[in-house]
Amino acid sequence: MKAIDVVNDLKRRFPAEPEYIQAVEEVVSTIEDVYNEHPEFERVNLIERLCIPDRIFSFRVSWIDDKGRVRNNMGYRVQHNNAIGPYKGGIRFHSSVNLSILKFLAFEQTFKNSLTTLAMGGAKGGSDFSPRGKSDMEVMRFCQAFVAELWRQLGPDRDVPAGDIGVGGREVGYMYGMYKKMARENTGTFTGKALEFGGSLVRPEATGYGNVYFLLNMLATRGIDIKGKRVAISGSGNVATYTAKKLMALGAKVISMSDSDGCIHVPDGLSEEQLEYIFTLKNLYRGRISEFAEEYGCEYVPGGKPWGYPCDIAMPSATQNELDGDAARALLANGCIAVSEGANMPSTPEAIKEFLAARILYAPGKAANAGGVSVSGLEMAQNAQKQAWTAEEVDEKLRRIMADIHAQCVKYGQEADGYVNYVKGANTAGFMKVARAMMAQGVL
Ligand code: NDP
Ligand code: 2IT
């Protein structure tokens, strides 16, 4: 089947999965040329096998809340592709989670993990359980019930989960504890663990720091200095806060952050004390960004997004499809010169078109946010060696990996006039490695 026919066929077969189709369509449309240069791929229907997950586990998670009531949520794990290494990818706990979202994330993860230069296949899992408003004990009971069902499908060389939206160090700790009890082994199997039981230094920071390192590589292609640049960030969770921290350390100004209820605007840039306040508010107390606005008396827009403010750089770091065509046009009109995605698929197809047409620096999530899973890969390597590296060692490896991913994007994405199409570059580089591995291993 021709690549484009595969997409049309998937649309027919999975009409209720718009995010999955969106992710597949974006990748297939950019790799079509290189795919068609390899008739051997088509002979084994490689593209269809690469688009449809290897398998999906779907299960009920029953747990007991603090009032003694039995609650039921859905749990899923999408094992997308393991051609280049064990299944690897995060777990998302959010009320919006469904199969379309997890299939898009697992598909993206496969290409992202391929770009990292490490041996990891792609997977994603999660639940429509919302940690919002839940007590610590409720979160623990839910995590235990989730893993009691899933543990048999996991293992250090089989499938290694990690965090994502709604899943941080606390949730990974509870899930890993239950996994260890069921599997009777202690070999890692989750990444993002605490330092005391096999976690890696710099893993919490890795996605945000990695995104800034990728941005620095992009800016260097145009000789632009990060110092003094105004950056609009969405979200205020793990990725957003560490992105802000690294940017501020480099002399940039973070002029906005947001959460699912609204956004704040600080035209002169957040101070270190203010960022620390947001970190504590969101990560420790799971509060609202509006509380920051009340504390510091800054502008707060309920339901707002940070794309309408004058800025030089945008780093969407909350969720998928959070930056649409209108937002992209507003950013461009306000002088934005670079967009580097911390979230997975935050820009809609229309927004991406605008960025590419304006020929600004635009890095898709699968390249720019790959630092998180890269340090997860380094955590797996440390666990296998039963050793722990220093923060400097891990940070240095992270910088090198992000530079390498950037170089792969340039190699496959540079156009005749010199413009680097990072979407095409990331998709093609990620695809070619997985495709070669699949060809070598036969039809499975
Ligand atoms: P967190 O749960 O720590 O933070 C998520 C942030 O995004 C919160 O501020 C949250 O607001 C906001 N948010 C979540 N869902 C929505 C929504 N539907 N609409 C608006 N805002 C929303 O998650 P992470 O920081 O880990 O993840 C952020 C993004 O980065 C995700 O797209 C994730 O897939 C991606 N990513 C994460 C990696 C990691 O290592 N953690 C690695 C690579 C990518 P609120 O507080 O109101 O819920
Ligand atoms: O989207 C992602 O890359 C993650 N949530 C991190 C995955 C991982 O295995 O560290």
| Distance from the alpha carbon of residue 319 to the mean position of ligand 1, in angstroms | 6
Report which protein residue has its CA nearest ligand 2's atom 4: 90
Residue 181 binned pLDDT confidence (cut-offs 50, 70, 90): very high
Query: Does ligand 1 lie within 6 Å of residue 343's CB atom?
Result: yes
| Per-residue model confidence as pLDDT tens digits over 392-426 | 999 999 999 999 999 999 999 999 999 999 999 99
Query: Confidence class of residue 29 from pLDDT cuts 50, 70 and 90?
Result: very high
Pick from 235, 312, 239: which is nearest to 269 by CA?
A: 312
Residue 316 reports pLDDT greater than 90: yes
- Which pLDDT belongs to residue 91? 98
- Torsion angle of the four alpha carbons 130, 210, 190, 432, in this order, in degrees rounded to the nearest 10: 110
What confidence score (pLDDT) does residue 49 get? 96
191 lines ligand 1 (CB under 6 A): no
Q: Give per-residue pLDDT as tens, 84-118.
A: 999 999 999 999 999 999 999 999 999 999 999 99
Task: Please tell me if the CB atom of residue 421 comes closer than 6 angstroms to any atom of ligand 1.
Answer: no
Alpha carbon distance 314, 306 (integer Å): 9
Question: From CA 166, how far away is CA 278, in angstroms rounded?
Answer: 16
Return the best residue to mutate from 373, 375, 401, 405 for the ligand 2 pocket (most ligand atoms within 8 A of CB).
373
Q: Does residue 342 have its Cβ closer than 6 Å to ligand 1?
A: yes
Active site residue 2: no
Residue 267 in contact with residue 296, Cβ under 8 Å? no
Q: What are the residues whose beta carbons fall under 8 Å from the beta carbon of 342, sequence distance 6 or more?
A: 207, 208, 211, 233, 235, 239, 240, 243, 315, 316, 317, 365, 368, 369
Check residue 81 and give its pLDDT.
Answer: 98
Q: Band of the pLDDT at 4, cuts 50, 70, 90?
A: confident
User: Which ligand is closest in space to the CA of residue 379?
Assistant: 2
Residue from 19, 115, 165 whose mutation best tests the ligand 1 pocket (most atoms within 8 A of CB): 165
What pLDDT score does 197 carry? 97
Q: Is the pLDDT of residue 36 over 90?
A: no
Tell me the CA–centroid distance for residue 107 and ligand 1, in Å: 18
**Percent of the chain, pLDDT > 70?**
100
Query: Average pLDDT of the chain?
Result: 97
**Section 225-241 average pLDDT:** 98
Higher-confidence position of 1 and 158 = 158
Beta strand 361-363 pairing with 55-64: unpaired
- What are the percentages of helix, strand and coil residues in the chain, rounded to 5? 50, 15, 30
pLDDT of residue 15: 97
344 touches ligand 2 (CB under 6 Å): yes
Question: Quick check: CB of 120 below 6 Å from ligand 2?
Answer: no
**Average pLDDT of the residues in 36-56:** 95
Measure the N-to-C terminal CA separation of the chain; round to a whole number of Å. Answer: 17
Q: What is the DSSP string of 326-357?
A: HHHHHHHHTT--EEE-SSSS-B-HHHHHHHHH
Q: Is 165 in the pocket of ligand 1 (CB under 6 A)?
A: yes
Residue nearest to atom 9 of ligand 2 (CA): 89
pLDDT band at residue 252, thresholds of 50, 70 and 90? Answer: very high
Say which of 88, 112, 124, 246 is annotated catalytic.
Answer: 124
> Distance, CA 122 to ligand 2 centroid (Å)?
10
Q: Is the pLDDT of residue 22 over 90?
A: yes
Distance from Cα 69 to the centre of ligand 2, integer Å: 32
Ligand 1 binding pocket mutation candidate from 124, 260, 348 (most atoms within 8 A of CB): 260
Distance CA 206, CA 407 (A): 19
Q: CB–CB of 211/368 below 8 Å?
A: yes
Instruction: In whole angstroms, give the CA distance from residue 157 to residue 380.
Output: 10
How far apart are alpha carbons 429 and 413 in whole angstroms?
A: 9
Query: 81 in helix, strand or coil?
Result: strand
Q: What is the pLDDT of residues 327-339, one digit of tens each?
A: 999 999 999 999 9
The alpha helices in 37-81, defined as continuous H runs, are 39-43, 46-51
Catalogue all structural domains in the chain, each as residue range(s) with its CATH number: 3-185 (3.40.50.10860), 206-363 (3.40.50.720)
Asked if pLDDT for residue 271 goes beyond 90, the answer is yes
Q: Residue 237 and residue 90: Cα distance in Å, rounded? A: 15
Which residue CA neighbors atom 3 of ligand 2 most closely?
A: 373
**What are the start-end ranges of the E strands in 11-151?**
55-64, 70-81, 87-93, 122-127
Query: Ligand 1 center to residue 243 CA distance, Å?
Result: 12
Tell whether ligand 1 has an atom less than 6 A from the beta carbon of residue 200: no
pLDDT at 277 over 90: yes
Alpha carbon of 187 to ligand 1 centroid (Å): 28
Is 30 close to ligand 1, i.e. is its CB under 6 Å away?
Answer: no
Can you tell me which atom of ligand 2 is nearest the CA of 92? Answer: 5
- Cα distance between residue 405 and residue 249, in whole Å: 23
The pLDDT of residue 1 is above 80: no
- Asked if residue 201 lies in contact with residue 374, where contact means CB atoms within 8 angstroms, the answer is no
The per-residue pLDDT for range 113-136, each reduced to its tens digit, is 999 999 999 999 999 999 999 999
Atom of ligand 2 nearest to the CA of 370: 3
pLDDT of residue 148: 98
The structure tokens 């504390």 sit at 295
Read off the pLDDT of residues 136-157 as tens digits, 9 standing for 90 and up: 999 999 999 999 999 999 999 9
Pocket test for ligand 1, best of 95, 115, 164 (most atoms within 8 A of CB): 164
Distance from the alpha carbon of residue 374 to the mean position of ligand 2, in angstroms: 8
User: Ligand nearest 111 Cα, by number?
Assistant: 2
Q: Is the pTM of this model over 0.85?
A: yes
Distance 260 CA to ligand 1 centre (A): 9
